Each structure stands twice: as structure tokens, then as C-alpha cells.
Amino acid sequence: MTFRPDRPFNDLPALPPKQDIETRAVLKACIEALAALAELRVSGQIIPNQAVLINSIPLLEAQASSEIENIVTTTDRLFRFANDIGGQADPATKEALRYRTALHRGFGILKQRPLSTAIAVESGRTIKGVALDIRNTPGTALMNDTSGTAIYTPPEGEDLLRTTLANWESYIHEAREIDPLIRLAVMHYQFEAIHPFIDGNGRTGRVLNLLYLVDKGLLDIPVLYLSRHIILNKVQYYRYLLEVTTQGAWEQWLLFMLEAVRATAEWTTGRIRAIRDLLEQTAA
């Protein structure tokens, strides 16, 4: 593989990764993350009205995922305008709310068919509020905000992008010998490396993470507040993503994502219990 940050990475390796990614450290972290996720799933089932969760925690996820892309709003504004029919919210709040809508729509589609490139496109369109599709124009590059130099230039050419996405989709569903949580980390890296849209790739990828967990039966509803960990560790998130590309450093990336699942599953479980306690106190 050849990589230069200022040239399209058309040599992006297909999945699965060539090296053994199920190292001892990764498998240990995977067990811990699966246990935390299982506890979260059970905790979600004790809330009598699931709508309470689907209408609250995903708003926090929408806020954090948007903030990663420097689209900043507040939880107060998100809840205030969550059902805003008249469109009075500010642009940042509207964009964050579209993330929540994309998550809801994707969750609904999963009841008819499994996670796919088509769902990724639908999610990206919802997040951006425009009829985007797979990139077919050159010139997309990720730049260093300080120096203005290219950090990464994703693959170019619509045919190539569709081929890599087909491989990505196959890996999600067919690499059954790999634990689903490890596949989650691999699929997230690959989607961000493909960078199939002109804009909205990061948020779309994070929506797909939650939909994948539902698709694989690890969650009943998409309520893992995963972007919380990413925004608290934003520098490491982007560094480890890039080091998979430049160094093939899969283990550190996998450990980061597995820790993100474990930590946010525990945090989200705590919030669900707090919601349940508040419901009981209010009823009393």
C-alpha cells in the first residue's frame, strides 16, 4: 500500500485487515465492552415507556456528534426545539436535530432490512438535509486547521467508492468469525477512510455505529451515547484513525473504540437508572 496525504488513497486496503486484529489485549477489552453493553441493554428494558429513552439519550448523542464537527448547540435548545414544526431553531440546533432524525429513520429501516450502503446514503442525506449521494467529483481532502496542509485525501472515483462500500457492507455481515464489537471498530475506520460523501461523513459514520449495534442484536434501541467518549478524547480519536492508515496500527484503534463502547455503555446505563428513578419519584 502507498499513502501520501496529498494524493487520493485509492490503494485503501479492502476488508478484512490482513493482520491478526484479535490480539489478547483486544479480546480482553472486547469481553469487558460486551459485558457493559449487555447491562445497558437490560437497563433499557426496565423503562416502561421506551419512547422516554429514544427521545432523550439520542438527543445527547446528536449534540455530541455534531460538536465533534464544530456544530455547537446546547441540550436546552435541542430539547426545546425537538418537535419544532415551525423551524424557529438556530442553524446549529437544526443540524444536530437532523442527526437525531437520521438515527430514528435508520432504526425504522432496520426493521425491514439489514444495515447497508443504502442506509448510509439515507442517513447522510437526512443529516445534511440535501439529496447527496456517493462522491463523483475529485478534490476532497481533509486539511490541518492550523497549517492548511492535507492530512488525508480519501479515494476518488464513484466506481471505486461503490466497490469499497460493497466490500465494507460484506464485511459487516459476513465476517462472522470476528466478534461484532471488533467488526464495529473496523467498519467505522473503513467508512471514514472511504469518506463516501462530500460532507457529513463523520456524523453518518457515528449513526451507522449505533444502527450496527441494533442490527447485530447488541442493543434493542440505539441509545448508546458513544459520541460522548469521542468528544472527550477527540485528539486521540483522529490520531488513531490516521495511524491505521499510515502505520497499520489496528490494535490501538480497536482498543480505543472498545473502551469507548465500555465507558459510554456504563455512563448510559447510569443515565437510564436516573431516568427510571425520576419516573418513580414523579409517580409517587
Give a yes or no: residue 165 inside a domain: yes
pLDDT of 56 reads 72
Comparing CA positions, the residue from 266, 189, 262, 193 lying closest to residue 26 is: 262
Residue 21: predicted pLDDT: 96
177 lies in some domain: yes
Q: State the total domains in the chain.
A: 1
Tell me the sheet residues that pair with 152.
142
Residue 13 lies in a domain: no
Does any domain span residue 139?
yes
Tens-place pLDDT, residues 178-225: 999 999 999 999 999 999 999 889 889 999 999 999 999 999 988 888
* Mean of pLDDT over the chain: 89
Partner residues linked to 150 by β-bridges: 143
Would you say 199 and 133 are in contact if contact means Cβ atoms under 8 Å apart?
no
Q: Is the pLDDT of residue 47 over 80?
A: no
- Predicted TM-score (pTM) above 0.85: yes
pLDDT at position 43: 87
What are the helix (H) ranges across 81-179? 91-109, 117-128, 158-174
- Average pLDDT of the segment spanning 48-70: 72
Q: What is the mean pLDDT of residues 47-67?
A: 72
Q: Is residue 117 part of a domain?
A: yes
Identify the CATH number of the domain in which residue 47 sits. Answer: 1.10.3290.10
Over residues 65-71, the mean pLDDT reads 73
Q: Greater confidence, 61 or 37?
A: 37
pLDDT of residue 44: 81
